[in-house]
Amino acid sequence: MIHLSFTHWPYIAASYGCTIMAVSALALQLTLRLRRARVRLALLEKNDHGMRPTS
Amino acid sequence: MTKATQQTLAGRPVPGRFLHRFANPGQFLRLSHWLLPLLCLLSFCFLAVGLLWGLLFSPADWQQGDSVRIMYLHVPMAILASTGYAALAICGVLSLVWKHPLADLAAVEIGPVGAVVTALCLITGALWGKPMWGAWWVWDARLTSVLVLFFLYLGHIALIQAFDDPQRGYRAAAVLAIAGIIDLPIIKFSVSWWNTLHQPDSITLTHAPTMPASMLIPLSLCMIGFAAGFAALVTGRLKAAVLESRAQQLMTRRSWGMGDTA
């Protein structure tokens, strides 16, 4: 019979779970932000080049 | 910048000029192009080995049992919370004294990551404290000083966004970051200065570690892994901020009708 209340595993699992979730959320947010910034800058630069007069 | 311009007439390097060499956003983008993947790879490898080792293969503590495995998360988070704040204060000095162009942006990006790391330190500490002390929280000097650090991070984030003029927000936040550095020695020495429930440091620079190698090695791997992860997150966020700033400049230039004169 497993006595979960007498073990520390729920606390350990909660610690690892919280940390992995928080780090993953930060990494995901960063990936999306970087992708958005790259796409936006590329679009603006493309339009900017298009607006320059040709010599 | 040539080598000659980095030196005074006396031939000594000028710190401000030396730092400005690394303040060029273009140079930072080139640096981050290879640094970011390297830091991500380092972090992933060290954390994969360190966390699995700590969770599955390192021995349980004779007194604390398996709950000691929380140490592999809690200790790196605690060290990174303090180190991150020290970095914030350094950015404050660079911004106020040398007007370093990237220092303000770096401070903006370090703040939220540092706040999350400090929150994780407090959460993992509570999850370790409950089975060991019988309480999630005690108003112990170490715990309270880390809670103050968390509020300092939140204050820094709030101050940056509190002003209409971003430059005023940066200046106010830099002053707070520098003033708040007083909390770091209090955190470090709280277990020596006061009678606390929190245990004293197991790893110090002056004494041999009080833990066996079977715990010290996975802990060191986790520390390197989390430090590389912290650096990767800050570098990536800073890179995104520089790209966003460039896009904003292009938008402003276009809105002023200067796009065709560039």
Radius of gyration of chain B (CA): 21
The encoded tokens of residue A37 equal 């910034």
Length of chain B: 262
Which pLDDT score is estimated for B142? 93
Determine the residue of chain A that is closest to B242 in CA distance.
A37
Which pLDDT score is estimated for B64? 82
Contacts of A37 in chain B (CB under 8 A): 240, 243-244, 247
More confident residue, B240 or A5: B240
Per-residue pLDDT of chain B (262 residues; tens, 9 = 90+): 444 444 444 445 555 565 566 667 788 888 888 999 999 999 999 999 999 999 888 888 888 888 899 999 999 999 999 999 999 999 999 999 988 878 999 999 999 999 999 999 999 999 999 988 889 999 999 999 999 999 999 999 999 999 888 889 999 999 999 999 999 999 999 888 888 888 877 777 777 777 888 899 999 999 999 999 999 999 999 999 999 988 888 888 877 765 444 4
Which pLDDT score is estimated for B210? 77
The pLDDT of A19-34, averaged and rounded, is 95
Q: Taking 50 as the threshold, does the pLDDT of residue A4 lie above it?
A: no
Residues contacting B173, CB < 8 A, separation 6+: B92, B107, B111, B156, B159, B160
Contacts of B237 in chain A (CB under 8 A): 30, 33
Tell me the β-bridge partners of B13.
B7
Nearest-neighbour CA in chain A from B59: distance (Å): 14
